[in-house]
Amino acid sequence: MMKVGKQTLIKKLKSNPTLDFIQKSIRFLSDRDYMKNAADYYRDPYNFFLRSLGNADRNKDKVVYYITQGGPYPGFCSMLMYLLLALEKMDIFHMYPVILWKDSLYGEIGEINGTSYAYEYYFNQPAGISVAEAENSANVLLSKPCDFSYRVGLNPYSLKEAEINQLAIQYKKYIMLKPEISQYLMNHINQIISGKRTLGVHIRGTDFNLGLHNHPVAVSPEEYVQMIEKRIKEYHYEQIFLATDDEAILEFMKKKLSHTIKVVYYHDVFRSKDGLPVHKSLDKRENHKYLLGLEILRDVYTLANCTGLLAGVSNVSICVRVINQTLGHRFEQTDIIDKGLCKSNLDLQTAFQKLPH
């Protein structure tokens, strides 16, 4: 058997970050300060570790905050909301954020709107620094999971007005629609609202009806109808704009309300017919993933431009409220139907495995 020298072994361990971390953790197991600092790095967003990336020849006079998001589960508004949380935490340090939606559900093969990065399909980089620049910068802070967390004890689905206002400050400062996307949204919003007093209604269907653990309890379509009819009389709305991810809910609401008030909605939206959330769908239309993001962004901005809002608790309705705060007008009336959070044994991964594919 070939013997491996001590120095050779140490060199091999250091060349593998995982093995190096394990051997150091074992070595310093009795050092409480070391173990605490190691743990705090991952759970404390203010425990900074700057590093150089690539050639390290860019942005030597700046600290670049490189925010990476993605994965198989987060929807568009979920990623947008958690992005605002990360930006809020780092805003006081005057860093230069660069945002990468990596392996997200909205990424296409090839370029969209002149870029291969999903975030940049819709938004400009807030600090004018490209992903390529960030990956060759001298002083980079990489985002960590704890950067995207809410404060301890805060229900992420039940934000108060003060918290919405704070997130709106970050949105207005950092989230910049691409000019062509902004124009597209405004054209559609003007067509659908047409200067009428409009009640914006958002109904989240699909997987929300499964009773996912720590997700909002679903509001039934019948409950929405009762509230809508009440608000129509009180606020003299001329029409409702309905946004939903569920085809069955759309048809139900049209049937129940069309005799009472004009119901407007976008016809060219992909909606679920089988209970599978739209951001997990695999339709064959060209640029389907990009269009899913564009459609939810259009729904959100249209809802934010309505006279009033009626919605359940979801990341979509939170985004709508945040964006509305950044506009030149505020909702005359806001109803968020909050029935609490589900407590069950059903998590996202298990639920998606059970849904039809």
Q: What is the pLDDT of residues 51-66, one digit of tens each?
A: 999 999 999 999 999 9
If 0-12 CB within 10 Å is exposed, 13-18 middle and 19+ buried, where does residue 279 land?
buried
Average pLDDT, the chain: 85
SS3 call for 142? strand
Residue with the bigger pLDDT between 199 and 41: it is: 199
Helix axes 161-174, 315-326, angle to 10 degrees: 70
**Structure confidence at residue 186 (pLDDT):** 97
Mean pLDDT over 85-99 rounds to: 91
**Structure confidence at residue 130 (pLDDT):** 95
**Structure confidence at residue 335 (pLDDT):** 95
Mean pLDDT over 86-100 rounds to: 91
Q: Are strands 123-124 and 176-177 parallel, antiparallel or unpaired?
A: antiparallel
Residue with the bigger pLDDT between 281 and 224: it is: 224
**Structure confidence at residue 199 (pLDDT):** 98
Tokens of 91: 């805003």
d(CA 205, CA 244): 7
Mean pLDDT over 199-223 rounds to: 77
Instruction: Give the pLDDT band (50/70/90) at residue 270.
Output: confident
Task: Please determine, for residue 336, whether its predicted confidence score (pLDDT) is greater than 90.
Answer: yes
Backbone φ and ψ for 239, nearest 5 degrees, come out as -160, 165
pTM: 0.85
**Structure confidence at residue 1 (pLDDT):** 46
